[in-house]
Amino acid sequence: MRVSERLTDPAGPGWPARLHVVTGKGGTGKTSVAAALALGLAAGGRRTLLVEVEGRQGIAQLFGTDPLPYEERHLTDAPGGGEVRALAVDAEEALLEYLDMFYKLGAAGRALRKFGAIDFATTIAPGLRDVLLTGKVKEATTRSTGPRRVYDAVVLDAPPTGRIGRFLNVTAETARLAKVGPIKTQSEGVAALLRSPMAAVHVVTLLEEMPVQETVDAIAELTQLGFPVGRVIVNAARAPLPAGTMVSQAELRRGLLAAGLPADRATVAGLHGEARDQAARRELEDSLRADLVELGRPITELPLLPGGVDRAGLQTLAAALVPAD
């Protein structure tokens, strides 16, 4: 098999891309979903890389490890002999690497850092920062040893939906503005990867009005910009209530009495009010589900984890995202 043919080999069933960009409104759990996806795609002896670019050290906090350096490190094992590695991409370190790679300015670049020139450059040109971040992700995604890619899949914990279009599109804008040189070449390469079948942008949401609306808006923006949209991932989902679930106060009272519990008027009325509120909430969730279905994208629902997202919870989410072969 030629190397070019291996580029679209799926790392897991139902996930044909090699670079998985995970975005979502803040608070939807996109970092947990990205980590679970990397874990699921690594099952069965595969190797994945989980990358963050926002400097929050969310991956380290999630796994209870020391802050991640600008270095690919073993993060955790996956079922079946797989491995997840992690990387926190730092714009300053990426620029030093870039200067050394293309301009052979290793020592000179480090000297510039001492004078604050690197930080100054990435601050006055925020687009350069995103070019460097996505450039490092592209390099990891396409890196090979012989005929085989180093990573079967790369999962990027990306900026939230409000910034995802600008973040991904900056390389195309830079390639358009730069006339010649390494910056133009690198930007064109990253822009091409992000719009190819090798990449997919997945949007994480909750069944709440604001996250769903941001999901709708983000998918419209990504589609307009030409980025391949992957799945809509509904996090912390609860199953729809069956029809006829709502009970009357009289039925509640009989049930409480049968269980030997207090069944005074105030208790019954309070419980009935809570049940009515829950039913209304579930009706809203069903309506939001319908809005997501209208987007025409594959939808994956992840269960609500009452105990929070610990390692066992991550494995539960991974199994829901990437079922066993």
Two tokens at 127?
Answer: 């687009």
Q: Do residues 37 and 20 lie in contact, with contact meaning Cβ atoms separated by under 8 Å?
A: yes
Two tokens at 67?
Answer: 């802050």
Strand 144-145 relative to strand 148-149, pairing: antiparallel
Q: Do residues 49 and 85 lie in contact, with contact meaning Cβ atoms separated by under 8 Å?
A: yes
Q: Do residues 155 and 59 lie in contact, with contact meaning Cβ atoms separated by under 8 Å?
A: no
Two tokens at 144?
Answer: 């090979």
pTM: 0.82
pLDDT value of position 185:
67
d(CA 141, CA 234): 26
3-state secondary structure of 294: coil
How does DSSP assign 165-189, residue by residue? HHHHHHHHHHHHH--SSHHHHHHHH
pLDDT value of position 122:
47
The position carrying tokens 């990449």 is 199
Contacts of 76 (CB under 8 A, 6+ apart): 39, 63, 83, 84, 311
3-state secondary structure of 241: coil
User: What structural domains and CATH numbers belong to the chain?
Assistant: 3-239+296-321 (3.40.50.300)
Strand 229-237 relative to strand 299-303, pairing: parallel
Closest CA to 32 of 143, 145, 157, 126: 157
Per-residue pLDDT of the chain (325 residues; tens, 9 = 90+): 232 333 334 455 678 899 999 999 999 999 999 999 999 999 999 999 999 998 889 999 999 999 998 889 999 999 999 999 999 987 666 665 655 554 444 444 454 455 454 454 445 445 566 777 788 898 899 999 888 899 999 999 999 999 999 889 876 666 555 554 556 666 778 888 999 999 999 999 999 999 999 999 999 999 999 999 999 999 999 877 666 667 788 887 888 888 888 888 888 788 877 777 677 777 888 899 999 999 999 999 999 998 889 989 999 999 999 987 6
* 283 phi, psi to nearest 5 deg: -65, -40
Sheet arrangement for strand 47-52: 73-78, 82-88, 47-52, 153-157, 19-24, 199-205, 229-237, 299-303
Q: Do residues 262 and 268 lie in contact, with contact meaning Cβ atoms separated by under 8 Å?
A: no
